[in-house]
Chain A
Amino acid sequence: MSKIAFVFVGLSVFLFCGCENLGPEEPMEFDLLDGPIDGLSISEQKRFLAGDIAFNDDVFTVENGLGPLFVGTSCVSCHSGDGKGHPFNQLIRFGNNDLDLSAMPTIGDGRNQIQNKALPGFEPETVPHGVPFSILVAPAVTGLGLLDAVPDEEIMALADPMDEDGDGISGRPHYNLTPEFTKIRENSVPQGDNYIFRFGKKANSYDLLHQTVGAYNQDIGITSLFDPIDPFSGLEVDPEISTKTLNDVVFYLKTLKAPISRNQMDPDVIAGKELFKSVQCAACHTPTLTTGYSPIKSLSFKEFHPYTDLLLHDMGLGLDDGFTEGNVETSEWRTPPLWGIGLSANSQGGQMFLLHDGRASSIEEAIEMHGGEANNSKARYISLAPEEKSQLIKFINSL
């Protein structure tokens, strides 16, 4: 046989043996927001995978129920890489500017969220004239299972609605009526028929099933067994997503890992951590929470570091969009977790769109836009020396 043929065959074998070494390396785990929490069983990992596919790969079309009015065509279109969303797929919600007004302005089947995109031949919705509204950018979805497993008692222990300790911070939980399909957490502490809601910018979802059912229905126009009302027609229709898929997505969201902090040994980060406490950022952005019992073993009785208290706070006039949601005042927002904030740019196209509507393009800007209960902390931040500010920002970026 000719040498050339030997060379070709030999080269083929050599290249195939070496192919493992010529591929791109896996990104470092702490640079990624996606991936499961540690310790899932094989059967849990299979459920995670099924939810991962539904969340990240399923795209809705006319044929499988999209719209006809919608905000996005898939989960991932708003939650790229499981991180914060981009303003191009923004949500717009509206409402009363006063909790005491009983008649809530609604649209379609009683929604307070417009569907601002439409299939060809349909007209997207617009905010009713003269009604206050908020633009919302989708939040990151990592670590939600841990937040879901925090007992009510722990949230209540952080609350200080009357500011009895006089620190100017008066967080309160959002109590509201749960939808019929909700399975109430064990050891919940209700106020009458109202339970603590903890997910969403204004804490308007009780749990991840509530949040997911609402997102499919309001954002994509997909009905389910739990919410069979088509948001366009207002009529009950067959479920457009199976209950199994919905449950898989909820499981996926519950078991997404918490963001992994980075550069914790950097002296600036260590100094920034101290400043975070002394400036009193930590009064609302509570560093550490603990879960109670969860049927998912990996979530049970875990200490974790989300930097949120899951409470509502008055954020002042600057962040007051003038609309209420549930029992949340116009200027109140639930403390967003800060974990993973340093990776936001990786899911927002290389830029940061922070705060509820993405108006802040950096952490510094976001801090300076705080008001209300955060006024004192903001003033302390502003008075820091430039180097200290830099250390504080480095620390927040490291979360």
Chain B
Amino acid sequence: MYMSPKICAVLFMVHICVSTISAQIKYKDSTKTSMNMDAVYDRPFLTFDKFPVNLGGYLEANSIYSIEDGLSEGLSFQARRLTLFVSASISKRIKFLTELEFENGTEEIAIEFASMDIALHPLLNLRGGIVLNPIGSFNQNHDGPKWEFVERPDVSTNLLPATFSNAGFGIYGKAYKGDWTLGYEAYLTNGFDTSIINNEEERTFLAAVKENSARFEDNFSGSPLLNGKLAIKHRKIGELGISYMGGAYNRKEIDGLQVDTGSRRVDVLALDLNTTINKTGTGLIGEMAYIWVDVPDTFTQQFGNQQAGFFVDIIQPVLKTKILDWEEAILNLSLRTDYVDYNIGKFAQTNTDIGDDLFALTPALSFRPSPQTVLRINYRYQWQQDILNNPASRTATWYFGISTYF
């Protein structure tokens, strides 16, 4: 497999960075320093005595009532996800985990994660199979019961693909010093295809690549997608991550024949943050992403070459007490802010701003009888402008939902 000098250089830099830190640290129990990158294993599993396989999963279901510009389609019930996890300790230093998801009943069945990990050193683990691309935090840490909101963040679903996984290989590791933990991940995976600018969303839409089930066996562009993430965590402050993924999304040649004028790239940079204010117990979770897509000038401006967005969740526990037989039931009040600009730039003909953006506020009330189960009431109010910046379409949506690990 051809690997470009740039990719080699990035992997080398990651290796140098981590090696330097490793010389100064002591190893600690990783369960106390869990990061977003650990989310796939940081789940409740059913374990069986002397049986090396652990099972788990979660369910998400909700009702939804939506009113768009005064018109409603009525009340619906949604069985959004049933996800099953299976993990196994195959032998010392070798483990396996897979995540199988059924969306909307059996409308979409997907293997979201299936990888074998080989632990050579806390700083150097090998991972291969179907991996979750480590872009932002939500993509890796997306289990329904962990969140106070029925909907996934817009930036993580409509801008970045969630949950986005691909066949690939890479390395990851963590280093510790005092209260600090540094984690890294670097993978080469299959990447995007031209559907990101050729789709029925009529906008640049990275998530369109998820429709291509062949991405687990065929890398459309022929060159790997580079994925890298660095995250730092302080046990009393929180975690900050910066991640990148990029690569070609088209093919310049097929069977030796030129089919496009050049190789076109997609590059994504994401920042994620989560912290808890100790005094008040207020949780803050946020993620922002910026996307650059090389869209040919001769294509329609409907498909933007830059996109950006963010979400911020503020979660305030207002009650922690015993309720019925639940020893540590928690009632949370939360607020999510979503913003997505699908098309940053100006129209060539008029030099006026291109629209196509979305802003939403979602107040939420959630009740957790135990940490693994959540009952949620959400009210989402959304303003969405079309590409021309015409008056925003307004949508209010009520949700009542449950989500639980099992």
Contacts and interface: CB of A to CB of B under 8 A. Distances in A.
B331 A23 contact: no
A122 B387 CA distance: 24
A87 interface: yes
B260 A87 contact: no
A86 B388 contact: yes
Interface string B348-381: 1110100100000000010100000001010101
Q: How large is the interface on A (under 10, 10 to 19, 20 to 34, 35 or more residues)?
A: 35 or more
Given A8-B367, A347-B388, A87 B321 contact: no
Interface in B248-266: 250, 259-261, 264
B390 A347 contact: yes
B305 to A, nearest CB: 13
Nearest to B386: A80
Contacts of A62: 194, 198
Contacts of B398: 15-16, 19, 22
Contacts of A73: 202, 300, 302
B390 A350 contact: yes
Interface string B279-301: 00000000000000000101111
A61 B394 contact: no
A20 B71 CA distance: 10
Interface stretch (B21-29, B62-70, B88-96, B176-184): B62-70
Nearest to A31: B391
A8 B331 contact: yes
B202 A59 contact: yes
B72 A120 contact: no
B298 A124 contact: yes
Contact of A12 (B67, B261, B390, B400): B400
Interface in B16-74: 65, 67-72
B198 A24 contact: no
Chain B interface size band reads 35 or more
B104 interface: no
Interface string A7-49: 0100110011001101111110000000000000000000000
Given A74-B202, A87-B349, A120-B296, A16 B388 contact: no
A199 to B, nearest CB: 23
B352 to A, nearest CB: 7
Nearest to B353: A349
Contacts of A12: 377, 400
Contacts of B400: 12, 16
B389 interface: yes
A20 B66 CA distance: 9
A303 interface: no
Contact of A351 (B329, B352, B395): B352
Interface string B194-205: 100111111000
Contact of B323 (A5, A66, A121): A5
Nearest to A23: B67
B86 interface: no
Contact of B324 (A5, A77, A353): A5
A346 B70 contact: no
Contact of A4 (B198, B299, B319, B388): B319
Contacts of A1: 324
B389 A349 contact: yes
Nearest to B261: A121
Nearest to A22: B396
Given A4-B329, A61-B198, A80-B390, A27 B69 contact: yes
Contacts of B261: 120-121
A80 B388 contact: yes
Contacts of B365: 8, 11
Nearest to A116: B298
Contact of A349 (B69, B299, B319, B388): B388
A346 B391 contact: yes
Most buried by B among A8, A90, A346: A8
Nearest to A122: B298
A23 B72 contact: yes
A8 B389 CA distance: 40
Nearest to A83: B390
B77 interface: no
Nearest to B199: A61
B379 A15 contact: yes
A88 interface: yes
A274 interface: no
A90 B70 contact: no
Interface string A315-341: 000000000000000000000000000
A23 to B, nearest CB: 3
A350 B391 CA distance: 8
Contacts of B70: 23-27
Interface in B100-155: none
Which of B202, B352, B355 is packed against the most chain A CB atoms within 10 Å? Answer: B202
Nearest to A87: B349
A377 to B, nearest CB: 29
Contacts of B198: 61-63, 66, 119
A233 B219 CA distance: 30
B324 A2 contact: yes
Given A15-B398, A86-B388, A117 B299 contact: yes
Contacts of A74: 202
B388 A121 contact: no
Contacts of A90: 349
Given A59-B201, A120-B296, 13 more contacts: A4-B319, A4-B323, A16-B65, A16-B400, A20-B67, A22-B398, A62-B194, A80-B387, A87-B347, A117-B300, A118-B298, A348-B388, A349-B389
25 contacts: A4-B319, A8-B331, A11-B365, A15-B379, A16-B398, A20-B67, A22-B379, A22-B396, A23-B70, A23-B72, A24-B381, A27-B70, A59-B201, A62-B198, A72-B302, A77-B302, A80-B390, A86-B388, A119-B198, A120-B197, A122-B298, A347-B388, A350-B389, A351-B352, A353-B350
